[in-house]
Structure 1
């Protein structure tokens, strides 16, 4: 049903005209078929029959297409809500894992990131400031990746990046950009909060399964935190050069 609505929903003026004509032609064809089946002949000329049917079908066709278009918009809104983190505007964990499962072989690496000492920010400044810092972190990550890379909020203060590149040097340059210290300025509070990130990186070159990829990234992230934070560690625990 979702695919049918997506196909039938008008998307522009020309599409409205074409689909209205298609609907009316289908109604005319159905009406002619029924009349021939019941009576064996038309009760009026073909032209008169088409004109009469089209006049009756036109307003009902517009009404039906309007409902379909409204349903299509609702489906788009529901999909957006289901796949987007409302605070940061990034894809959420559900959407990230869907893409990781369906498109894993098109990505070169999976990077799991965590804001260092984020609990301190919430404890010292409150959750409103913490939320502002999460939004700032999302902007920092989105501005650091390349075309085709995917940035998502993994959960809490954790983010993830699906990187397209398979070149080791380019991947290390990317992780360096991602882990560069940055600040979050909270205008209302008059605060400037310094922020750093730790990262665990798994190259997708190895034939790792879905669960193993997540497990190794998580282990590398914890290793990065245990060995000083504000750094990237490549699984299985090898620091980036």
Structure 2
């Protein structure tokens, strides 16, 4: 079941999808009522609605990627759709039998918008997200589908053939658009739950369980030397008791942001406990590791303030240098021992030791 509260850009996307269905539905209705309505009116109206539907898809994709829709784009959509409908109307007035030309003009105009939408999706899609790659492919398919009525009419130039092809395209569009909408929201929901399972809600860093899985996987895939560090905020309970939990949360977030700026190879930061954090990196240079950690320790000690008033925040860091063989549990115990030594020696310091864990 989808979450009851969607972010603003997703609500916007859903709204544009609904408007797209509405525009295409009304367009098909006016097309079906050509025998009741004046033909010229039906042609103008359904072409206007079909073209506006294309722009609804454009707006839906833009909002999905959290892109703003500028007023100039709204004006372009309205102006282009109106002029396109007026052109179709004029072509009908000049030569009511020139159906092939009107179909060609319609296919080119609508496919041009879908081409733009497909390019936007291809440009903004994130690597490793198959649904976003599939979105660009689906949009390109829709652009091709738009030419079915033209091909059908050129093959057999009969009004009945054109109407049958139009019905096929209409149904294909409804299924493709509905499938696209469900695919995007379903995959996004899956990704949301996946991130919740591996990320700490407050800081956005990895959680303890995922840190363990990730580190074990990294170490199993490569025998390169590495480090594991445990970081603890000094006197955090005192900060919480004095300034409140909201300030405590800000301190935790501030520390994580600094730790994630560490200039270490393949660095992974996780919130390991309440005010404790874990770091993994592929490094074998003890001096480089010590310098990087000491730099971030100093930045934490100098950088936090409340309402422009500095608040002393410091961290103690225990580091274990690993060679190619290890036991994860034992390594964490060694890092915890190094962290304890850092605290025993006065806190606000880095305690680094090299071990060979069998």
TM-score tier (shorter) = 0.7 to 0.9
Q: CA deviation at 1:102?
A: 0.9
Cα distance in 1, alignment partners of residues 248 and 351 from structure 2: 25
- 1:150-169 to 2 correspondence within 5 Å? 150-169=268-287
Cα distance in 2, alignment partners of residues 77 and 125 from structure 1: 33
Structure (1 or 2) with the greater strand fraction:
1
2:194 pairs with 1:79: yes
The aligned residue for residue 145 of structure 1 is 263
SS at match of 2:202: coil
Q: CA deviation at 1:175?
A: 2.3
Q: Deviations over 1:174-203 (max 9, x none)?
A: 22123222342122xx64211111111111
The aligned residue for residue 16 of structure 1 is 138
The aligned residue for residue 185 of structure 1 is 305
The aligned residue for residue 45 of structure 2 is none
The aligned residue for residue 92 of structure 1 is 207
Distance 1:123 1:66, change over 3 A: same
- 1:103-182 to 2 correspondence within 5 Å? 103-104=218-219, 105=222, 108-146=226-264, 148-180=266-298, 181-182=301-302
Cα distance in 2, alignment partners of residues 113 and 20 from structure 1: 53
Distance 1:11 1:219, change over 3 A: same
Bigger relative contact order, structure 1 or 2, given CA contacts below 8 A and separation 6+? 1
SS at match of 2:348: coil
The aligned residue for residue 43 of structure 1 is none
Cα distance in 1, alignment partners of residues 278 and 237 from structure 2: 19
Cα distance in 2, alignment partners of residues 117 and 18 from structure 1: 58
The aligned residue for residue 205 of structure 1 is 323
Q: Deviations over 1:68-126 (max 9, x none)?
A: 22111101111121211121221222221121121134661011100111111112222
Q: CA deviation at 1:142?
A: 1.9
Taking structure 1 as the reference length, the TM-score comes to 0.73
The aligned residue for residue 44 of structure 1 is none
- The RMSD of aligned alpha carbons is 2.9
- Give the paired residue count: 205
Cα distance in 2, alignment partners of residues 236 and 10 from structure 1: 45
Q: CA deviation at 1:204?
A: 2.0
| 104-113 vs 117-126, greater mean Cα deviation | 104-113
Cα distance in 2, alignment partners of residues 81 and 205 from structure 1: 32
SS at match of 1:194: coil
| 62-71 vs 208-217, greater mean Cα deviation | 62-71
SS at match of 2:326: coil
CA contact (8 A) 2:265 2:281 kept: no
| 128-137 vs 169-178, greater mean Cα deviation | 169-178
Gap runs ≥5 in structure 2: 1-128, 146-160
Taking structure 2 as the reference length, the TM-score comes to 0.51
SS at match of 1:87: coil
The aligned residue for residue 222 of structure 1 is 340
CA contact (8 A) 2:216 2:328 kept: yes
Cα distance in 2, alignment partners of residues 119 and 55 from structure 1: 64
The aligned residue for residue 31 of structure 1 is none
